[in-house]
């Protein structure tokens, strides 16, 4: 027994060595690599700094995608929302799961190299038990956690190198985003808009973890925009940041999306409430706000504009524009211009049913509201799109080959909210709408009973929609597009993961996964073979919307929980 045990221990100790023997030494991730990522790798949240969700690989394409078969899969052992993309650096894959865990695998075989589990405090409440991935930088990787820590790990061994408390989880701060790495800094933002936080983006030295700067997304005394918050309301003004920013390496500006103002009812904080519901351009070296655009002022609909705008150079009305493109939760598709020191409005139009905006200022894009559609304390209001918006966090994708922007949308859906007074109590929900109301907020229309979820393809040059693929119920599927004329995504409650023809929207391939797919897909190549990877694992907001549907629909839908990593390749 003794010897057998010893032998077992010895073999266990040798395991990591054996596993990595097949892999080359870990290749450090530099600014140069992140600026021009190799086609074979998926080095960050959206594959490139511009936020495209695009892979230049085309071995798998619209001709042969029907022959896609599983290469390997891996059970994470976790439940809840598995949203992170499998990130790949020369054969090493990194996947994060709910409960702040990182799994490192050999990308081509699925062999586990190591697994990191951040211990979470017993008392932590996880409103959004999920994680959207790591940042790879140098020979380290970085994880932002739901107890608001930033953790640095050795990418080759998984050894914890340092961790810093970014904010106080007891006051409702938590993090779920993949950090952004650039110019020696690791940048993160905090969630907690429903718990009365004051949002921020903060940068830390990639080597030491020392805080370099912190910029509040909610303007306070002495800051530009402070006048848009009455009294002390800025202290609990929300403005969460829970999606990775995009980055322009030419200007060193990072573009972040900012969540809604809190609490929800606009009359509790009369004013524009900068920079809630905006995109802000931050100088990566100093954290200074170099420009912003507020998509809508004095939010009343829980329309976080938290996904970062995509950086796309488009031709608009005959003029070349270095643009920012954002499919807003408010139901408008925004086209902005980015310069060194400003963000300018260019154009915007609704991409789903929207009955709140009556017009947009042609110069500034500032919307005018239909007063009947603005919720308030002591008032019941119906509005479209629903509080989850035309598109929630699941990212759009842009394909430079087709020139099309792909949006995972929820159309035809409306909400009804009744505002009620609310008192701030640190660490507790601070919303101003009863929880029962939120649970039953959904209002189905004739149209939404026919279909809700959509994948839309837009030609940015003409501003025209080229095709729409529809689903009977919700779409919570992040999209990826490839040079193989494909768009990949899941997001539906039938557990499917699909490939669509990027030019026509036709479904070319689909496969049911163990749970529902709300993970960000990625693609990579090892030894000349292309793979497509995604996590299956329904939970968090998709599950919450399902609950709201179940509350108003005649039928109930069960989507089983439990995470798996799936990697596909072409059948030989």
Partner 1 sequence: MNKTPHHPDHSHPVESPSSPERRDALRASSALLLCAGLGIGKAALAEGPSNSRPKAGDQLVRSDSEGNPVPLRSTEILPDTKPLPAFPLEPASGEVRSGSRLNKVILIRVAPGDLTEETRPYAAGGVLAYSAVCTHQGCEVSEWVAKDKTLMCYCHFSKFSPGRAGEVVAGPAPRTLPLLPLREENGVLVVAGPFTSNPGVAKST
Is 122 annotated for ligand binding? no
Residues of this chain, 490-509, that bind partner 1 according to CB under 8 A: 492-494, 496, 505-507
CA distances from 525 to 92, 186, 531 (A): 11, 27, 6
Q: Which stretch binds partner 1 (CB under 8 A): 241-249, 315-323, 327-335, 436-444?
A: 436-444
Distance, CA of 142 to CA of 146 (rounded, Å) = 14
Please tell me which residue in 147, 283, 302, 347 is annotated as part of the active site: 302
Is 305 annotated for ligand binding? no
Residues with Cβ within 8 Å of residue 110, at least 6 apart in sequence:
71, 72, 73, 74, 565, 567
Is 106 annotated for ligand binding? no
Per-residue DSSP letter, 28: P
Length of the chain: 572
Closer residue to partner 1, CB minimum distance, 336 or 422: 422
Pairing relation of β-strands 180-182 and 185-189?
A: antiparallel
Is 260 annotated for ligand binding? yes
Residue 302 annotated in active site: yes
Distance, CA of 179 to CA of 195 (rounded, Å) = 22
Cβ neighbourhood burial of 3 (10 Å; 0-12, 13-18, 19+) = exposed
Residues in contact with partner 1, total (CB under 8 A)? 50
User: Can residue 555 be called a binding residue for partner 1 (CB under 8 A)?
Assistant: yes
Closer residue to partner 1, CB minimum distance, 224 or 507: 507
**Closest distance to partner 1 from the beta carbon of 99 (Å):** 7
Closer residue to partner 1, CB minimum distance, 366 or 465: 465
User: Can residue 553 be called a binding residue for partner 1 (CB under 8 A)?
Assistant: no
Q: Which stretch binds partner 1 (CB under 8 A): 56-64, 307-315, 375-383, 430-438?
A: 430-438
Q: Which of 62, 40, 44 is nearest to 53 (CA)?
A: 44
The helices-and-strands tally (H runs, E runs) of the chain is 5, 38
User: Can residue 249 be called a binding residue for partner 1 (CB under 8 A)?
Assistant: no
Sign of the C-alpha dihedral computed for residues 456, 461, 463 and 467 taken in this order: negative
Distance, CA of 470 to CA of 351 (rounded, Å) = 14
The pattern of x and - marking residues 102 through 131 that bind partner 1 according to CB under 8 A reads ---------------x-xx-xxxxxx-x--
Closer residue to partner 1, CB minimum distance, 4 or 554: 554
Is 501 annotated for ligand binding? no
Residue showing tokens 């952004």: 180
Residues of this chain, 60-79, that bind partner 1 according to CB under 8 A: 77-79
Identify whether the C-beta of residue 187 lies closer than 8 Å to the C-beta of residue 211.
Answer: no
Q: Which residues contact partner 1 (rule: CB under 8 A)?
A: 77-80, 99, 117, 119-120, 122-127, 129, 425, 427-429, 435-436, 438-439, 451, 467-473, 492-494, 496, 505-507, 539-540, 543-544, 547, 555-561
List, by residue number, the catalytic residues.
302
Give binding residues as ranges: 132, 176, 194, 260, 302
């Amino acid at each position: 027994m003794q010897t057998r045990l010893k032998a077992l221990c010895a073999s266990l100790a040798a395991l990591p060595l054996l596993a990595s023997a097949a892999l080359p030494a870990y290749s450090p991730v530099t600014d140069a690599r992140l600026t021009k990522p190799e086609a074979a790798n998926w080095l960050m949240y959206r594959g490139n700094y511009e936020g495209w969700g695009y892979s230049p690989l085309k071995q798998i394409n619209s001709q042969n995608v029907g022959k896609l078969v599983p290469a390997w899969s891996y059970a994470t052992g976790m439940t809840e929302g598995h949203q992170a993309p499998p990130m790949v650096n020369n054969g090493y894959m990194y996947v994060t799961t709910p409960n702040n865990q990182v799994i490192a695998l050999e990308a081509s075989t699925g062999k586990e190299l190591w697994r990191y589990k951040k211990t979470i405090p017993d008392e932590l409440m996880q409103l959004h038990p999920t994680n959207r991935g790591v940042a790879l930088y140098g020979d380290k990787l970085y994880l932002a956690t739901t107890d608001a820590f930033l953790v640095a790990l050795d990418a080759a061994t998984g050894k914890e190198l340092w961790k810093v408390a970014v904010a106080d989880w007891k006051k409702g701060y938590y993090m779920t985003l993949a950090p952004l790495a650039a110019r020696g800094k690791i940048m993160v933002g905090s969630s907690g808009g429903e718990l009365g936080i004051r949002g921020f983006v903060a940068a830390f030295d990639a080597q030491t973890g020392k805080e370099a700067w912190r910029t509040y997304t909610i303007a306070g005394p002495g800051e530009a925009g402070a006048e848009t918050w009455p009294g002390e309301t800025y202290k609990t003004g929300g403005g969460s940041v829970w999606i990775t920013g995009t980055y322009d390496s030419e200007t060193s500006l990072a573009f972040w999306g900012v969540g809604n103002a809190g609490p929800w009812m606009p009359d509790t904080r009369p004013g524009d409430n900068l920079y809630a519901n905006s995109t802000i351009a931050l100088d990566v070296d100093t954290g200074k706000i170099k420009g912003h655009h507020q998509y809508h002022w004095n939010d009343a609909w829980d329309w976080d504009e938290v996904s970062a705008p995509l950086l796309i150079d488009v031709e608009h009305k005959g003029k070349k524009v270095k643009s920012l493109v954002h499919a807003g939760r408010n139901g408008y598709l925004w086209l902005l211009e980015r310069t060194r020191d400003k963000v300018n409005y260019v154009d915007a139009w609704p991409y789903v049913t929207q009955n709140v905006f009556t017009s947009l200022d042609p110069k500034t894009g500032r919307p005018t509201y239909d007063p009947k559609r603005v919720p308030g304390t002591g008032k019941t209001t119906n509005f479209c799109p629903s509080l989850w918006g035309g598109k929630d966090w699941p990212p759009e994708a842009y394909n430079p080959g087709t020139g099309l922007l792909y949006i995972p949308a929820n159309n035809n859906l409306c909400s009804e909210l009744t505002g009620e007074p609310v008192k701030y109590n640190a660490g507790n929900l601070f919303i101003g709408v009863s929880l029962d109301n939120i649970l039953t907020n959904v209002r189905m229309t004739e149209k939404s009973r026919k279909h809700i979820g959509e994948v839309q393809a837009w030609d940015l040059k003409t501003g025209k929609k080229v095709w729409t693929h529809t689903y009977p119920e919700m779409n919570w599927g992040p999209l990826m597009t490839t040079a193989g004329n494909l768009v990949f995504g899941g997001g539906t409650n039938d557990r499917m993961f699909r490939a669509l023809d990027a030019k026509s929207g036709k479904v070319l391939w689909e496969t049911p996964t163990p749970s529902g797919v709300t993970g960000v897909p990625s693609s990579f190549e090892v030894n000349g073979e292309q793979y497509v990877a995604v996590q299956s694992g329904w939970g968090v907001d998709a599950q919450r919307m399902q609950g709201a549907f179940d509350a108003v629909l005649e039928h109930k839908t069960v989507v089983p929980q439990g995470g798996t990593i799936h990697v596909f390749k072409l059948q030989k």
